[in-house]
Structure 1
């Protein structure tokens, strides 16, 4: 059944399909000369201010009303279990995003063309990574996906931004029809799976312990995110196991070496290295990326080869976790190491966005205290 569902023929059709609701809203703004009003709105949304219906351009009111509805199949109990898993392993999940999810997106040679054309990652990598990390924290924080939650609003904002990017790319004349539509349904499904199924796989590789119920709960939360962001429900399998099968099929279809994907990966690795303090973690982002995505994907992305002994012995000896020059990377040691690196990466996200003209990187106080991460007000 699953093999028939995820055949090449059935996945090729969604490459020509996008998001009518958001696309029509954005198209109407451009046609009616309401782009300045939309820009003001987007700034409000980025700041997560409350936006009242009378503040919206008429063409956007319907979009926000419709896209703000949760699916009829949402299970609030599962959402809360997913939030609890995030609360337990938030630093590791953010590290998985940076070292696994995003590189895996760059490995899709057709889908990565959107990032290349917008040039956001290469010219402003911090802003791109901050926005993505912030959305994950918003949607997975307690109550994030409930009515009025920050996560719900963040998902609506990203969906609208996707539509704006599609509109501008189509007008640019630089898009190759062989890539399918920009930010099409299959690419959106693949991205969602890197934020759900791939994160769960990465947590296991990191030595994190969780139950099948917790795995399904986390996956369910991201199905809700996919619904809010306009993804066709037929591309959102109900079970975490089936989600892994769809992800594997998409990887086979699209993972190829590309100059654009390698450029995105270089910029990401350089940014992560800059965010980690001192010299103790030199080479750690590339080493963890190769460990999490595997050698095949790492090679096509141009990730440098790993040297676990050289990279890890410094941090582990500094913390008193090992005393020998040889490091046996067993699951307990990996779990301790990635927990440390994840917390330091979150500290880096807070600090690199400090400044009077920048929006703070928001981490709810309960999560911040649980993770041992400094708050933005002290950054």
Structure 2
């Protein structure tokens, strides 16, 4: 590896490079934490090292994939990985050691996994309907673009050129796959597609580090443990906080189920167990500490923020296209404004003057509708079915020509 890359034990320069700015970005999370949320020196150092740690099991699979010079052999090896994923390792006659190691790990669930909690977490996700998707898009994803070091990986992989609509559609499709009932069973679609995403992350780590413009010493390892953990917490901690702010009542038991669901998904994704929160309070504390380690917003934040802001303008609409596109754009901006504030809007290239009008209107309506649902016999199940259908319809609106799958890069 060229000398520009630091040894894995080093801590990159981005770690806490502007803690005051990061602390301001993390302020909404801090206000929900009981007690002192500041990380201990031991935790802070561990986060620094996690910025240089990848996913050894899947990284070994990718290294095996590329240890042969011919593209044909790489495609054959890729087919072996796919066969083990889709049909089980036992279907391969002589699987290589790296595949045996990976699937011996993921095929044996941790003792803490509770199927009842996984199902309950999935049902809560479905019941959140479009409110849940709005939070994931306009708060977790958009707000996450304030972390410029993570953005550099997206820019290096050409994500800007691929377009915000495709990125959003693929992420939405994966989330829907993971939040189906039974989706995380061994051969469920959520299980298999999460392993596909994990494989792509390992390909990205390999590819980006070969880019002469990339510096581990400055930005850490691409798709590292700390960044994977903070992203995973967006799907759980931010999702729960945001949907509640928008008036969706989620009990502490339901919140625990959502945390459990994403704890298991994070484990499948290759996140070390020390970075997988067991409870909402643990998750908030961990997310706050991880946010302090992020580099502050830069031009990449504005590039990605504007691209996502303008994504509704590219959607096809059956009628009143311009009016509907502008409304969806304004609705998203108003929701983002509530959580990131005026300065965050400026950093993301969004209109800072936008007031948070949509949350003010949506929260009372959501609360009344969801409360009424709970009082009616069979109301929760009907809400789950209706919510999931609304989420599927949204995916179709994002990608009308076909249902997006997990993007599989061509091996060359």
Normalization by structure 1: what TM-score? 0.79
2:305 and 2:350 in contact (8 A); partners too: yes
Partners of 2:351 and 2:88 in 1: CA distance: 45
1:80 and 1:142 in contact (8 A); partners too: yes
Q: Secondary structure at the match of 2:113?
A: coil
Q: Name structure 2 gaps, 5 residues minimum.
A: 1-35, 370-382, 407-412
Partners of 1:127 and 1:39 in 2: CA distance: 24
| 2:140 matched residue in structure 1 | 101
From 350, 353, 356, the counterpart of 2:399: 353
Partners of 2:81 and 2:302 in 1: CA distance: 30
Partners of 1:87 and 1:294 in 2: CA distance: 29
1:138 and 1:144 in contact (8 A); partners too: yes
From 92, 96, 99, the counterpart of 1:61: 99
Partners of 1:224 and 1:38 in 2: CA distance: 27
The 1:87–1:359 alpha-carbon spacing in structure 2 relative to 1, beyond 3 Å, is closer
Following superposition, the deviation at residue 50 of structure 1 comes to 5.5
From 51, 64, 73, the counterpart of 1:15: 51
Partners of 1:181 and 1:124 in 2: CA distance: 24
Q: Name structure 1 gaps, 5 residues minimum.
A: 313-326, 363-379
The 1:36–1:344 alpha-carbon spacing in structure 2 relative to 1, beyond 3 Å, is same
Following superposition, the deviation at residue 296 of structure 1 comes to 4.2
| 1:244 matched residue in structure 2 | 284
| 1:173 matched residue in structure 2 | 212
From 74, 78, 85, the counterpart of 2:124: 85
Q: Secondary structure at the match of 2:168?
A: helix
| 1:300 matched residue in structure 2 | 347
The 1:138–1:231 alpha-carbon spacing in structure 2 relative to 1, beyond 3 Å, is same
1:219 aligns with 2:259: yes
1:70 and 1:228 in contact (8 A); partners too: no
The Cα RMSD (Å) is: 3.4
Q: Secondary structure at the match of 1:215?
A: helix
The aligned runs of 1:59-208 (5 Å cut-off) are 61-62=99-100, 63-177=102-216, 178-208=218-248
The aligned runs of 1:32-71 (5 Å cut-off) are 32=68, 33=70, 34-37=73-76, 53-54=91-92, 58=96, 61-62=99-100, 63-71=102-110
Q: Deviations over 1:15-45 (max 9, x none)?
A: 1111100001001101124332356679999
Following superposition, the deviation at residue 275 of structure 1 comes to 3.3
Following superposition, the deviation at residue 205 of structure 1 comes to 1.6
Partners of 2:341 and 2:87 in 1: CA distance: 43
Q: Secondary structure at the match of 1:31?
A: coil
| 2:23 matched residue in structure 1 | none
Partners of 1:108 and 1:60 in 2: CA distance: 33
Partners of 1:258 and 1:137 in 2: CA distance: 31
Partners of 1:56 and 1:186 in 2: CA distance: 35
Normalization by structure 2: what TM-score? 0.73
Q: Deviations over 1:289-321 (max 9, x none)?
A: 222444443332222135459x76xxxxxxxxx
Following superposition, the deviation at residue 118 of structure 1 comes to 0.6
Partners of 1:66 and 1:60 in 2: CA distance: 11
The 1:344–1:335 alpha-carbon spacing in structure 2 relative to 1, beyond 3 Å, is farther
1:68 and 1:156 in contact (8 A); partners too: no
Partners of 2:387 and 2:124 in 1: CA distance: 18
Greater relative contact order structure (CA < 8 Å, 6+ sep): 2
2:134 and 2:332 in contact (8 A); partners too: no
The 1:249–1:6 alpha-carbon spacing in structure 2 relative to 1, beyond 3 Å, is farther
